[in-house]
A and B are shown apart, each in its own frame.
Chain A
Amino acid sequence: DQQVKQNSPSLSVQEGRISILNCDYTNSMFDYFLWYKKYPAEGPTFLISISSIKDKNEDGRFTVFLNKSAKHLSLHIVPSQPGDSAVYFCAAAIDQGGSEKLVFGKGTKLTVNP
């Protein structure tokens, strides 16, 4: 059973607009969440994270929002740029559980059109 779900396999947005990538989780024990970005022929790279004690974390153009009651998080990219075109993976963990307990979603492919 999928514990971390990214229900949109793909998303297409125009350059300069907002990209919103969504992620839902089912395990209420998860208390730490991460987003990774992956370009073709490269490994995933860490983008941004959020702990369950927060509901928002911002890093430049990237903001992650966490809604614990809905077990939902989202990644906002504003403004979107063509270089943001990549696959984005959501991941969840129990903070003290060790990185081997990290659970990944299936990914959302973002395409930013010039």
Chain B
Amino acid sequence: DAGITQSPRHKVTETGTPVTLRCHQTENHRYMYWYRQDPGHGLRLIHYSYGVKDTDKGEVSDGYSVSRSKTEDFLLTLESATSSQTSVYFCAISRGQGNSPLHFGNGTRLTVT
């Protein structure tokens, strides 16, 4: 198992509240990613990071922000949670080259009521 820890594993929050999800890795991989998984959509990239303080948007970045102040930590923030952000969120890491497989954490199930 790649050393990836996501916290919390489950969260229920109310519409309009800010939420931060944390991903911690012990592999010292340069690249980190946040995906969401929804029925009928598979895995979609939200944001990714290619180094400390270096981040970029993915396919579904609206309503989300990220920060990476240390190699091992990648934070995903929902500034004002909406019901459409109810989802399972996965963090992943890789060495970054095109043929480097992603290694995923076990996910955070977020419910926005």
Contact = CB atoms under 8 A, between A and B. Distances in A.
A104 B60 CA distance: 14
Contact of B90 (A32, A44, A96, A100): A44
Interface stretch (B11-19, B35-43, B67-75, B78-86): B35-43
Contacts of A107: 42
A41 B88 CA distance: 9
A94 B33 CA distance: 18
Given A32-B99, A44-B90, A94-B98, A99 B104 contact: no
Q: Max chain A CB contacts within 10 Å: which of B33, B48, B99, B105?
A: B99
Given A43-B90, A104-B42, A106-B42, A99 B106 contact: no
Interface residues of A, number: 27
A61 interface: no
Interface residues of B, number: 28
B112 interface: no
Contacts of A73: none
A42 B107 contact: yes
Nearest to B105: A43
A46 B101 contact: yes
A99 B58 CA distance: 11
B110 to A, nearest CB: 14
Interface of A: 6, 32, 34, 36, 41-46, 49, 51, 89, 93-102, 104-107
11 contacts: A41-B106, A42-B107, A43-B106, A45-B103, A89-B43, A93-B98, A94-B98, A95-B99, A98-B97, A99-B96, A104-B42
